[in-house]
Chain A
Amino acid sequence: MRTLKLITRFYSGIFLVNFLITLSCVYSMRHFGDDVHEIIGLLFWYKVISLALIFYFAVHYKKNEQYYYQSLGISKLQLGFTTSAFDFTLWLVFILIQLFIGIPAYIFNMVLWGVLLIHVYLYNK
């Protein structure tokens, strides 16, 4: 439970940018409409590469903080694997919902603004 709490804390620092990338994928799918299959492969690699880059920069710019997690028994690999796996699953869920059901514009906007507001609130807390 403590490990989960610590990994969640690390993830919260990179969640927003990852989530905006996921939403940009959904937005691109909406834009392409019936031709969505043409860009699915591209979106996949876009997500995978951005995940790797975001994790790399998070670790690089907060390398001092890695000692904090290390002292608590959580390795860099564990942080990277867990957060990437969760974020990729979240991306997959959104992509599948968009692909098979379609996310209405008002829900898309609500999710976007909701996440931004929650993030601003938590940042200032």
Chain B
Amino acid sequence: MIHTLEADGIQLDFGLRRILSDIYLKCETGKITGLLGRNGQGKSCLMNVILGTLNSSSNSVRFDGTVTRNVGKRPDLLLYLPQFNFIPKSLKVKQVLDDFQLSYPDFENRFPEFKEKYNSKVSHLSGGQWRTVEIYIIAKTPSLFAMLDEPFTHLNPIQIDKIKEFLLEEKANKGFLITDHMYEHLLDISDTVYLLKDGKTHLTKTIQDLDDLGYVRL
């Protein structure tokens, strides 16, 4: 069964500045939805409004057509990878995987560079490895959808390729909403791409659309 996550009717203002006004976003399980936009356009704000950690004057977040409030308290529906590191520094890799009830051998098979890292604290990992652990737990933990805010930050090109491959496999189990400035990587793996500009979402189909909307220069 295909599940849907839809967000619209979102209005967000910071003082006199309108951040989000005309939003429509639809994600489906089994698909990766990309969200592009320049700095300060409100991509992270939009994700936080969907999650319920940022209050907007109005919004409608629907799972399978049913309006759902406080989505942040429903990790079975939606998981969120923030753009900063969120795993407590003092934890070891094995503790993190235990907390999320994930198997270490599976993780090690997927990312062999973690073979000797079972007992390492996450703070002793490189920035790319730390991010890899975070992406893994969010993508692998059972839920209908996952939102990833700048997942490719801190990753080297080889790690990015592995993560892209991993996300393409995992989309069979959930729907992803991903935002990142590395738009080429995002375009590679996305089924649908929205561009957020001037508080509005624009559904784009080709890179030419992104050029027309002023996001890239071809």
Contacts and interface: CB of A to CB of B under 8 A. Distances in A.
A45 B137 CA distance: 42
Contacts of B75: 70-73
SS of B interface (majority): loop
A68 B73 contact: no
Interface residues of A, number: 14
Nearest to A66: B86
B128 interface: no
A36 to B, nearest CB: 39
Interface footprint category on B? 10 to 19
B88 A71 contact: no
A73 B86 contact: no
A67 B82 contact: yes
Q: Which residue among A70, A71, A73 has the maximum number of chain B CB atoms within 10 Å of its CB?
A: A71
A81 to B, nearest CB: 14
Interface string B66-102: 0000001101100110101111100000000001110
A75 B82 contact: no
A6 B85 CA distance: 18
Interface of B: 72-73, 75-76, 79-80, 82, 84-88, 99-101, 137-138, 141
